[in-house]
Amino acid sequence: MNSVLIAILVFIAYILAYRFYCRFLSKRIFGIDPQRITPAHRYRDGIDFVPTRRSILFGHHFTSIAGAGPIVGPAIAVIWGWVPALVWVVVGSIFMGAVHDFGALVVSARHRGKSIGEITRELIGPRARTLFLLFIFFALLIVLAVFALVIGVLFMMYPETVLPVWLQIPVAVALGFYIYRFRGNPLVPSLVALALLYGFMYLGILYPLRLPPFIMGNEILTWVVVLLLYAYVASILPVWVLLQPRDYINSHQLFVGLGLLYLGLFVGMPQVVAPAINSTPSGAPSMLPFLFITVACGAISGFHSLVSSGTTVKQLDNERDMPFIGYGSMLIEGVLATLVILACTAGFPSLAAWTQHYADWNTAQGLGAKVGAFVEGGAAFLSYVGIPQEFGRSIVAVFVISFAATTLDTATRIQRYVIAELAEDMKMRPLTGRHPATMVAVSSAFFLSMLKWGKGGLILWPLFGTVNQLMGGLALLTVTMYLVRLKKPVYYTLLPMAFMLAMSALAMTTNLVKFFDEGNYLLLTVGAMILALEVWLVVEAVGVFRTLREKSPDGLPAYLLEEEE
């Protein structure tokens, strides 16, 4: 099938979804109110709570939720065929992922900018809140350890990316001071910064850099340490100093990169050489439920709810920005995931070449294979518009690493919030401070990484896909309970919630059987605890739901009345 036709049909679906379904949710379900004061204004502190113009906040939110997720997941999932992967990305992003992200942003804004885990206390109960926060801490711990490893490995695979990625930081800081200290218009200088980034890419090709193995003679471990130190600094700085301007630049990089890649796609008009459906690939688990676990970002991802309710809500200037940032960003991520699917199925010259790359599950699942398939396929698309293959590889690789780095430091910042919330509950006041909480976040990730010479996060990584999707289901559970309290229709969040909880529970159960057969008792124990946690939270929520349905108080809940004062 021609890849251009697929791209056009997907674009039409997303345009219609944003035009009609997003508007319906905004007006009829979530009741967006431009007159309501947002937490960014109510609690403005110049560090975390900073009202931000919509275009800049979109850049931060999108690059934070994207990371390497919409690239890695679809690049693996096409082993089951391009049709299942594409259908899940399109349907999942429109009716599940975008609703999930949008809903988490709304609920957090209506609860004083608290995290989705913290909100659980008011909507379900104190026990559920503590369990959910511990659950989030565990998930973010894996994210920090593994993403530091992933970026380090990518720097080793593509040393030409080291110079442009790191030189972008001082440029972003200069842009941040220009915008917030001198009140300058960000568009022109951000475009200049983007032009500098592409210049840095050319320099990177001329001067590829490798990091000397200072830490225990291991280059990967050295990169992990450097990246976690960077994450510490980035997460304690005011958001306007680095995160906002860098992500704003990266949002331009996104649109330029997507534009060039899709232009190459439309010029080259390559045929999809991969099979439409490949139900029994060698060594792969069952498509049901693991397709819905493998493709998270790009369809629905629990991590997105942490970004929506962790950093994005604290920068929200006006509620009318919510649909564009919450729902629209997820659709753009679906556009990126669609591009990855096309690059990994139409970017190969023949079926034989594709089959060799996706010979079996273990081959397709390797990090180099995942990212390499997209980087090489993307570079092939860029070559259709005259961009040399070597420079095209650098463009796509920097694209991937920049987003992954954004996820790393945003996750560190969110982990800091989670640790502070837990410390406050446990009466450990010293750990509620910005520096102590961040130190716990980074050091715990470092100690996990130290295992297996920088690869310690991979010990628990087999659980992350299921944990992440389970977190998405639990976030939808929280949003649903919010709608129940307001006596709003719940089907639009209840059905996606039930689907994700069922798929994640089925996947976890399947994995537990596998871990038992392999004698992997660490993963068996941790996985069983996570599954028990899911059941516990759902039971708690069902009890509250029945109580509210039978005897719901009149009027708005107290927390909404407080926000309207």
How many Cβ atoms are within 10 Å of 238's Cβ, its own excluded? Answer: 15
* pLDDT the model gives residue 25: 98
Q: Check residues 90 and 429 and name the one with the higher pLDDT.
A: 90
Using pLDDT thresholds of 50, 70 and 90, give the confidence band for residue 463: confident
Is the predicted pLDDT of residue 512 greater than 50, yes or no? yes
For residue 554, is pLDDT > 70? no
* Percent of the residues in the chain that have a pLDDT greater than 70, as a whole number: 94
Q: Which residue has the higher pLDDT, 453 or 442?
A: 442
Q: Helix (H, G, I), strand (E, B), or coil: what is residue 68?
A: coil
Examine the pLDDT at 562 and tell me if it is beyond 70.
no
Question: Is the full-model pTM beyond 0.85?
Answer: yes
Which of the residue ranges 94-108, 156-170, 190-204, 446-460 would you say has the lowest mean pLDDT? Answer: 446-460
Q: Please tell me the chain's helix, strand, coil percentages from 3-state DSSP, rounded to the nearest 5.
A: 80, 0, 20
Instruction: Return the pLDDT at 549.
Output: 62
Among 64-73, 287-296, 300-309, the range scoring the smallest mean pLDDT is 64-73
Compute the average pLDDT of residues 139-160.
88
Question: Are the CB atoms for 307 and 414 separated by under 8 Å?
Answer: yes
pLDDT in tens, 354-366: 988 888 887 666 5
pLDDT digits (tens, 9 = 90+) for 41-71: 999 999 999 999 999 999 889 988 887 677 7
Q: What confidence score (pLDDT) does residue 118 get?
A: 85
**What is the structure's pLDDT at 23?**
97
pLDDT at 473 over 80: yes
- Please state, in angstroms and rounded to a whole number, the distance separating the CA atoms of residues 99 and 82: 24
CA atoms within 13 A on the CB side of 406: 33
pLDDT at position 241 = 93
Is the separation of the CB atoms in 52 and 41 below 8 Å?
no
Give the chain's largest Cα–Cα span.
70
Mean pLDDT of 351-377: 75
- Tell me which DSSP letter residue 272 carries: P
Return the pLDDT at 57. 94
pLDDT in tens, 245-276: 998 998 888 888 888 888 988 988 989 999 99
Please state, in angstroms and rounded to a whole number, the distance separating the CA atoms of residues 441 and 436.
9
Highest mean pLDDT among 103-107, 283-287, 372-376: 103-107
pLDDT at 454: 63
Q: Number of folded domains in the chain?
A: 1
The domain containing residue 354 runs over which residues? 3-564
Span 125-136, pLDDT tens digits: 887 888 888 888
For 37, which DSSP code? P
pLDDT value at 175 more than 50: yes
Average pLDDT, the chain: 88
Res 229 pLDDT > 50: yes
Confidence category of residue 453, pLDDT binned at 50, 70, 90: low
The pLDDT score that the predictor gives to residue 159 is 93
pLDDT of residue 555 exceeding 70, the answer is no
pLDDT value of position 367: 57
Label residue 333 by pLDDT band (50, 70, 90): very high
Mean pLDDT of 7-35: 96
Percent of the chain having pLDDT more than 90? Answer: 52
Look at phi and psi of residue 30 and say left if phi exceeds 0, alpha if psi is from -120 to 50, else beta.
Answer: alpha
At 399-452, the pLDDT tens digits run 888 888 888 988 999 999 999 988 887 888 888 889 999 999 999 999 888 877
**CATH code at position 49:** 1.20.1740.10
Helices (H), 35-110: 39-42, 54-66, 69-77, 82-92, 98-109
Residue with structure tokens 């992350």?
Answer: 464
Highest-scoring range by mean pLDDT, 429-438, 531-540, 548-557: 429-438
Three-state SS string across 459-487, please? HHHHHHHHHHHHHHHHHHHHHHHHHHHCC
Secondary structure of residue 330 in the 3-state scheme: helix
Helix and strand element counts for the chain (H, E) = 26, 0
Q: Is the pLDDT of residue 551 over 60?
A: no
